[in-house]
Amino acid sequence: MKKVKELFNGKAKTVYSTEDKDKLILLFRNDTSAFDGEKIEQLDRKGMVNNRFNAFIMEKLSEAGVPTHHERILSDQESLVKCLEMLPIECVVRNIASGSLVRRLGIEDGLELNPPTFEFFLKNDELHDPMINDYHIISFNWASQDEIDKMKSLTFKVNKVLQKLFLDAGMLLVDYKLEFGRFNGQLYLGDEFTPDGCRLWDVETRKKLDKDRFRQGLGGVVEAYEEVAHRLGVELS
Ligand code: CDP
């Protein structure tokens, strides 16, 4: 499958159309951004690591019954996916308090959340992705009630599968963000699941193995992503 036209150039991925109107190609670039694109750097190998890591996770989720847009890897940095009509919503599940939850509610960083909590955010960089609730989604017609229910149940299903996957490899899945879209009237998991969009801590030392290393200038960003991939048995080039 060949790239036909660039449709969208995001912060870390570029999206291309293909000869098949139902399929897109995602190019995972080395660009790494934080703070709504204020901090941007090129990190060698990150595109390849994230592409291969994302494919591994999407395949695990698909095997567990989560419908995903992922079709197959095409090259080191490219994957073929279904062309979804994306909802402008981010779904976040948190197992441990960190990041914006700590800043917003004054909660202690590292506090275990039992049960885990769920948040919706509007995908809008200019507005800094504000937090929204179910009523906003219905009033502004961003998704239906049925889609809201599906986003919640699928995001928690992902939690069940991935918490175990990571824990078995010595890591805590602290939190993560998912995005969904429509295809033939059904909801599918879109976008990506990589250490760019989740928090992962070593279970013993609580060492950060995710994009917080970049946000906080801790260094060793790609090395940490490669360690996560290695622990899970993801094959890298
Ligand atoms: O990233 P930040 O601390 O500002 O926000 P958060 O609400 O604590 O993020 C929760 C989780 O969602 C983290 O794992 C983020 O990496 C991820 N996230 C993301 O991937 N993209 C966003 N636009 C916002 C959050």
Q: Structurally, how many domains does the chain consist of?
A: 2
CA-199 nearest atom, ligand 1? 14
C-beta of 78 in contact with ligand 1 (< 6 A): no
Answer yes or no: pTM beyond 0.95: yes
If you measure from the C-alpha of residue 35 to the centroid of ligand 1, how many angstroms do you get, rounded to a whole number?
A: 10
In a domain, 227, yes or no: no
Q: Within this chain, do residues 57 and 101 fall inside the same structural domain, yes or no? A: no
Q: Within this chain, do residues 191 and 122 fall inside the same structural domain, yes or no? A: yes
Q: Within this chain, do residues 11 and 104 fall inside the same structural domain, yes or no? A: no
CA-212 nearest atom, ligand 1? 16
Q: Within this chain, do residues 133 and 200 fall inside the same structural domain, yes or no? A: yes
Q: Given 41, 59, 82, which residue is the final one in a domain?
A: 82
If you measure from the C-alpha of residue 2 to the centroid of ligand 1, how many angstroms do you get, rounded to a whole number?
A: 32
What does each of the 237 residues of the chain score in pLDDT, given as a tens digit? 899 999 999 999 999 999 999 999 999 999 999 998 899 999 999 999 999 999 999 999 999 999 999 999 999 999 999 999 999 999 999 999 999 999 999 999 999 999 999 999 999 999 999 999 999 999 999 999 999 999 999 999 999 999 999 999 999 999 999 999 999 999 999 999 999 999 999 999 999 999 999 999 999 999 999 999 999 999 999
Q: Whose CA is nearest to atom 4 of ligand 1?
A: 100
CATH of the domain at 39: 3.30.200.20
C-beta of 199 in contact with ligand 1 (< 6 A): yes
Q: Whose CA is nearest to atom 1 of ligand 1?
A: 99
- The DSSP result for the chain, as a single string, is -----EEEE-SSEEEEE-SSTTEEEEEE-SEEEETTTTEEEE-TTHHHHHHHHHHHHHHHHHHTT--BSEEEEEETTEEEEE--EE-SEEEEEEEE--HHHHHHH-PPTT-EEEEEEEEEEE--GGGT--EE-HHHHHHTTSS-HHHHHHHHHHHHHHHHHHHHHHHHTTEEEEEEEE-EEEETTEEEE-S--STTSEEEEETTT--B-STHHHHTT-S-HHHHHHHHHHHHT----
CATH of the domain at 183: 3.30.470.20
Question: Residue 96: which domain range?
Answer: 86-219
